Amino acid sequence: MKDFKNKVAAITGAGSGIGRALALELSARGCHLALSDVNRAGLTETAQLVSESSSVKVTTQVVDVAKRQAVHTWAGKVAAEHGAVHLVFNNAGVALGSTIEGADYDDLEWIMNINFWGVVHGTKAFLPHLRAAGEGHIVNVSSVFGIIGVPSQGAYNATKFAVRGFTEALRQELDMDGGNISATSVHPGGIKTNIAQAARFADNMDGVLGGKSEAAGKAAFEKLFITTPGSAARTILKGVRRDARRVLIGPDAHAIDAMARLLPSQYQWLVGQGTKWAMR
């Protein structure tokens, strides 16, 4: 898909961060928008920002991507209101700081339902509408933590590795179809969003945080966020235009990907030591 003008894009997690930046970048290119988020206030603000800067059609819906029927209902509503859907950005996600041993099953199910099942729901709900439009692109946001494992991020790693595998298999199936629908797996590094502040932190992090408070731990992670959401959105759209299978965002993402390729086993020791240093 080389041109976004007069196309229709559905974006989850559009109330802030990369989702909001995608909405603004796409609207500047003449793309109509169907926006969703679980946060009504953030969603409304994004829609207002888009309306102030462009004249594209914008619809909004509060949607919990963990709920399958809610996502399917929204997809049908988007197709009815806009007449077609061409682009789907499964971007909504949450974070959880916890050791594997100490993680509650409720927290594990919570993050899996949003980060992984949310992507599955969005993909399966919208794919028939992309086929009906005759062309389309599905963008599923994984993470650099879908490339390497990291202490205290085992649950998040599990969801993002799952998104990566799911999307790579989807892309191959779409290639085999020989049609005009494609898929891309996106792996952001540290992006300046509120994901760390909004993350759940378990009470079992002493061994990782080195005695730091939860707030200090979140602040330490935020030091690693070096790329703006706007830059991330532009990189993603560039990847869609060149039909990339995988998009890495930020110099840290490229460095981590290279490390995982060059040191597929040894990187674990390096990351462990780096985590200790970051939590000083």
Scored b (16 or more CB within 10 A) or e, 1-18 reads beebeebbbbbbbbbbbb
Give the residue among 173, 176, 207 at the shortest CA–CA distance from 276. Answer: 207
Enter the tokens of residue 204.
């079992």
CA dihedral 12, 15, 16, 18 (to 10 degrees): 20
**156 a catalytic residue:** yes
Q: What is the rounded distance in angstroms from the CA atom of residue 228 to the CA atom of residue 242?
A: 22
Chain-centroid distance of CA 272 in Å reads 25
| 4, 156, 166, 221: the active-site residue | 156
Give me the residue label for tokens 């209902």.
73
- State whether residue 76 is helix, strand or coil: helix
DSSP assignments along 31-54, one per residue: -EEEEEES-HHHHHHHHHHHHHH-
Contact 181, 137 (CB under 8 A): yes
Beta bridge partners of 153: 98
Contact 84, 133 (CB under 8 A): yes
Contact 46, 14 (CB under 8 A): yes
Name the DSSP class of 3. -
- State whether residue 97 is helix, strand or coil: strand
Contact 143, 187 (CB under 8 A): yes
Residues acting as catalytic residues:
156
